[in-house]
Amino acid sequence: MRMLINVPETVVADGLRGIAAAHPELTVDVERRVVVRRDAPVAGKVALVSGGGSGHEPLHAGFVGPGMLDGACPGEVFTSPVPDQMVRAAAAVDSGAGVLFVVKNYTGDVLNFEMAAELAEDEGIQVARVLVDDDVAVTDSLYTAGRRGTGATLFVEKLAGAAAEEGAPLERVEALARRVVARSRSFGVALSACSTPAKGSPTFDLPPGELELGVGIHGEPGRERRGMMTAGEIAEVAVDAVLDDLRPSDPVLLLVNGMGGTPLLELYGFNAEVRKVLDARRVPVARTLVGNYVTSLDMAGCSVTVCAADEELLRLWDAPVATPALRWGR
Amino acid sequence: MTGTTYGAAFAVRWMGTVAAAVAREADRLTELDSAIGDADHGANLRRGFAAVSETLAKEPPATPGAVLVTSGRVLISTVGGASGPLYGTLLRRAGKSLGETGEVTRAGLADALAAGVAAVGQLGGAVPGDKTMLDALTPAVEALRESFAAGRAAAEAGALATVPLRARKGRASYLGERSVGHQDPGATSSALLFAALEEVAAE
């Protein structure tokens, strides 16, 4: 596997140095692995902090900026960050109005953010947490760690970030974030496995000509393996998996997300198929975002996320945002 | 030798031996983790225990309890993932339970580790049989009351016994039935703790 890196040990730090070089509007602490808005803390504003393993870029550091996150903590590749990073980020962005931790539902992220919340509260920072668990491929039962957090993280960070920017207090921002989670569902498909820099080879075995339906964003397996399908067939499986779980009565926000190794041309073609299926199921689409936003290193594949959006959520979606990866309305 | 007691230097040697064992076994742990997890267990634990050794060498704490508390804190700050908080909590709670005592018996160590194991269960919400580190730790702590060798053997047997289990916690739980037939990486690394303990006690 050819990778555009120096050595595997420094990929996260090297990436952060690159973010710092490209985005002077962010403050990047490469050593301690904390990225915050340059103008943080913003007086009177509730702050949003997220974080997770690296390898999902632009999530989360690419979503730091006005209208979205105030801070992000990247961990090692596919490994949750440590509590020290989260506490440091919270302290850097807290204006006194409190901090919302946006946590994807993986055991490591949940445990580290839990410890961080305790430590931050010891320092006098008011902390609330929202858990994102939108992946319908995993059965939410006593026998699993629960649904994984994937594409809906972008919706939570954008919509709750917009509410915070408007001046909503912590309880309102937290409640809104929970509402977005409750109204969002995702389903992912892998056409190839991803390779971590440390391992240098694919982390799971997916023979050519097969695909994994319901894949997670770390190459975790999903519901089943099948022989190769067309974009139209994949769209049908993905959309129906989502709609089986959540039948939206409102128009939806639609994220057609690339996993990192699939060209945009293919993603747009896939989006056309997704729209066709949604039209046939009579689910109106209010807004669409197509691109690589919640990725899995070099994995080929895609995910579909819908969020049933009421008027308030639509207004917050359209609100201005200025981050490295999402930018509009200013 | 029931009367033997163990002090801070013993605890430091124990952590150093764990660090060496984790470094030696890192590739195997990662291999196990790539079958049912995300292929980073070896690398993450190696980084954490290397930091533990470095910290203990710089400022060796005065009591065995303090050695374990410091080790736990360093793991929480350096490992990440689920292993960081879980291993960190195991050692931190065990250390706290030892208190200020300068010398500890094997039975005292077993009591302290039992407190640590209970805290791990509480934090992770797992019980024995869920195919986690608890499957090695729980029997090992009980057997440690008998001897260091029994603790090591029980941990290894517990880790091996995870092979036919279906994972119910952590990332392997997403596999459901497909997790059956693989040895749990967390239980495997947990067994290294008890192998190192026996090794250091025999010195």
Q: Which residues of A are catalytic?
A: 56, 218
CB A251 within 8 A of CB A303: no
Beta carbons of B40 and A78 less than 8 Å apart: yes
Query: For chain A, what are the domain ranges?
Result: 9-183, 184-308
* CA-based nearest distance A197→chain B, Å: 11
* CA-based nearest distance B110→chain A, Å: 25
- Spell out which residues of chain A touch residue B80, defining contact as CB-CB under 8 Å: 53, 75-76, 79-82, 108, 112
Give the three-state DSSP class for A172: helix
Beta carbons of A80 and B81 less than 8 Å apart: yes
Beta carbons of B178 and A148 less than 8 Å apart: no
Give the range among A140-149, B20-29, B30-39, B136-145 with minimum mean pLDDT.
Answer: A140-149
- Spell out which residues of chain B touch residue A144, defining contact as CB-CB under 8 Å: 168, 173-174, 176
Q: Select the more confidently predicted residue: B112 or A2.
A: B112
Residue A204 touches partner B, C-beta closer than 8 Å: yes
Class of domain B8-125+185-202: mainly alpha
CATH architecture, domain A9-183 = 3-Layer(aba) Sandwich (3.40)
pLDDT for the residue numbered B2 = 56
pTM higher than the cut 0.90: yes
* H-helix or E-strand spanning residue A251: none
Smallest Cα–Cα separation from B47: which of B78, B2, B69?
B78
Give pLDDT tens digits for A85-123: 999 999 999 999 999 999 999 999 999 999 999 899 999
pLDDT for the residue numbered A187 = 97
Residue A143 touches partner B, C-beta closer than 8 Å: yes
Q: Which of B77, B80, B174 sits opposite A216 (nearest CB)?
A: B174
Q: What is the ipTM of this complex?
A: 0.85
* CA-based nearest distance A20→chain B, Å: 23
Beta carbons of B178 and A221 less than 8 Å apart: yes
Residue A296 touches partner B, C-beta closer than 8 Å: no
- Spell out which residues of chain A touch residue B82, defining contact as CB-CB under 8 Å: 80, 106-108, 111
Residue A195 touches partner B, C-beta closer than 8 Å: no
- Spell out which residues of chain B touch residue A206, defining contact as CB-CB under 8 Å: none
Q: Which amino acid is at B150?
A: A
Beta carbons of A198 and B80 less than 8 Å apart: no
CA A227 to CA A248: how far, in whole Å? 30
Beta carbons of A80 and B77 less than 8 Å apart: no
Beta carbons of A199 and B30 less than 8 Å apart: yes
CATH architecture, domain A184-308 = 2-Layer Sandwich (3.30)
Give pLDDT tens digits for A24-79: 999 999 999 999 999 999 999 999 999 999 999 999 999 999 999 999 999 999 99
Q: Which residue of B has its CA nearest to A79?
A: B81
Beta carbons of B170 and A145 less than 8 Å apart: yes
Query: For chain B, what are the domain ranges?
Result: 8-125+185-202
Residue A199 touches partner B, C-beta closer than 8 Å: yes
3-state secondary structure chain B: CCCCCECHHHHHHHHHHHHHHHHHHHHHHHHHHHHHCCCCHHHHHHHHHHHHHHHHHHCCCCCHHHHHHHHHHHHHHHCCCCHHHHHHHHHHHHHHHHCCCCCECHHHHHHHHHHHHHHHHHHHCCCCCCCCCHHHHHHHHHHHCCCHHHHHHHHHHHHHCCCCCCCCCCHHHHHHHHHCCCCCHHHHHHHHHHHHHHHHHHC
Q: Is the pLDDT of residue A220 over 90?
A: no
Q: What's the rounded mean pLDDT across residues A124-131?
A: 98
Give the three-state DSSP class for A290: strand
Give pLDDT tens digits for A291-319: 999 999 999 999 999 999 999 999 999 99
* CA-based nearest distance A329→chain B, Å: 37
* CA-based nearest distance B70→chain A, Å: 15
Give pLDDT tens digits for A234-268: 999 999 999 999 999 899 999 999 999 999 999 99
